[in-house]
Amino acid sequence: MSFSPSFLRLTSICLLLFIMMCLDACGGKAYRQNYEMATDASYEMSADIRQQHSPSPSISGAARERERNRKIHYDGYIQLFVTNTRSTIEKVVDYIEAQKGYVELITENRLVVQVPAASFKESFDRLLTFGKVLDKRITSTDITEAYQSTELRLKIARATRKKLLALLKEAKDEIDKLELLRQIEEITADIALLESLFKELNKKVSFSKITIEMKSQLTTGGRDGFEPSGFSWIGRLAPSNESAAISGKRVEFNTPTKMLEVKGKYWRAESGERVVFRASQQDNQPQGDTQFWLDAIKLRLKDRYQAADESDVGLFSFLRLQSYDDNPFVYYVGISAEDMKLVLVELYFPSLETEERYRSGIFQSIKERKK
């Protein structure tokens, strides 16, 4: 088979662009995380956040410009004891809407809200006044490298498609045209995926997430929500609550396809569609086998969800929890007892469609892990 000189020349250009994109994808780190945790009533903004807003006068103008251009996402968590959960939820929704934010998720005792990044500190502090603070923390995630890498890869992919389209116009041979159409279809699919990821990164820069979890006499059974010794991490299990993973030890998994590993204290991978796969190690104390801990988790969580089903994946036993929403999310909690330690896996799928698309890849990663 022979190709025209123009076909070979433009194909070489497209190949070079692809190689550049691949090198960029392999060379950049996706995320860097810095956890700032506070448990007392006097929350103060962390030093790295203050530095971002007020660069030191001792650094150069170029360095200050780089600091201003950093892409930082803030993620806050608040746990409140309130008298009336329903009325507090209404107050929170009214306040968030007044701040030009929006509600992402709402259940009978939990809200996940997005607020403009510029007013995150003000909004976080105001929400602390809506009840008695039981727990609070802020996570700041530097996504600059992921943002810049995705932006560059998207630019290269679009340029590559443009070159391929130009080549298609020049092609005379039908076999050449079919090959070009195949390449255009592949790069178009890559562009769609990159656009989805870039949109999500832009959202993380423009908006900050705050999760508000409420406990009342109705939901805590008169015990203020506290669990017996050794079981406290179970009470903190929730799709938007990372505290169980943060308090545990780090474990490792292979990153599933179509997901990116997020660097931090514990292992976590995310997708551009907000699918989350996180894992940690807890103490097997009181000592029990996998089924013992699965039963304990099911007893604590099943009443919060519409469905609670058990299944096994590799060495793990899972509880699949589906919310009551009209468009339900799915939350998996998996456990594997390994001598004196427990490996905890949490999976969050924001919809049944994302569960269908990502579940097999995640389960394959779980099956590949060995003790």
The structural domains of the chain, ordered by start, are: 5-28+146-202 (1.20.58), 32-142+205-228 (no CATH), 247-368 (3.40.1000.10)
Please provide the average confidence, as pLDDT, over all residues in the chain. 80
CA 105/CA 92 separation, integer angstroms: 12
CA 143/CA 73 separation, integer angstroms: 7
3-state secondary structure (DSSP) of residue 257:
coil
How far is residue 29 CA from its own chain's centroid?
A: 16
pLDDT of 344 over the 90 cut: yes
Tell me the pLDDT tens digit for each residue of 163-213.
888 888 888 888 888 888 888 888 888 888 888 888 887 787 888 999 999
Lowest mean pLDDT, pick from 33-42, 184-193, 284-293: 33-42
pLDDT of 10 over the 90 cut: no
3-state secondary structure (DSSP) of residue 142:
strand
Average pLDDT over residues 352-369: 95
Tell me the pLDDT tens digit for each residue of 107-153.
888 999 999 998 999 999 999 999 888 899 998 888 788 788 888 88
- In the prediction, which pLDDT does 356 show? 96
Lowest mean pLDDT, pick from 145-154, 227-236, 344-353: 227-236
Tell me the pLDDT tens digit for each residue of 301-314.
887 788 899 999 99
- In the prediction, which pLDDT does 38 show? 34
- In the prediction, which pLDDT does 194 show? 87
Residue 60 vs residue 334, higher pLDDT: 334
pLDDT band at 333 (very low <50, low <70, confident <90, very high): very high
pLDDT of 21 over the 60 cut: no
CA 289/CA 238 separation, integer angstroms: 22
Lowest mean pLDDT, pick from 24-33, 220-229, 283-292, 325-334: 24-33
Tell whether the torsion through CA atoms of 300, 303, 306 and 311 is positive or negative. Answer: positive
pLDDT band at 358 (very low <50, low <70, confident <90, very high): very high
* Three-class secondary structure assignment of 37-101: EECCCCCCCCHHHHHHHCCCCCCCHHHHHHHHCCCEEEEEEEEEECCCHHHHHHHHHHHHHHCCC
- In the prediction, which pLDDT does 212 show? 95
Residue 233 vs residue 306, higher pLDDT: 233
Task: Give the strand pairing for 132-142 and 267-270.
Answer: unpaired
Contact residues for 340 (Cβ-Cβ < 8 A; gap 6+): 283, 284, 285, 287
Residue 137 vs residue 54, higher pLDDT: 137
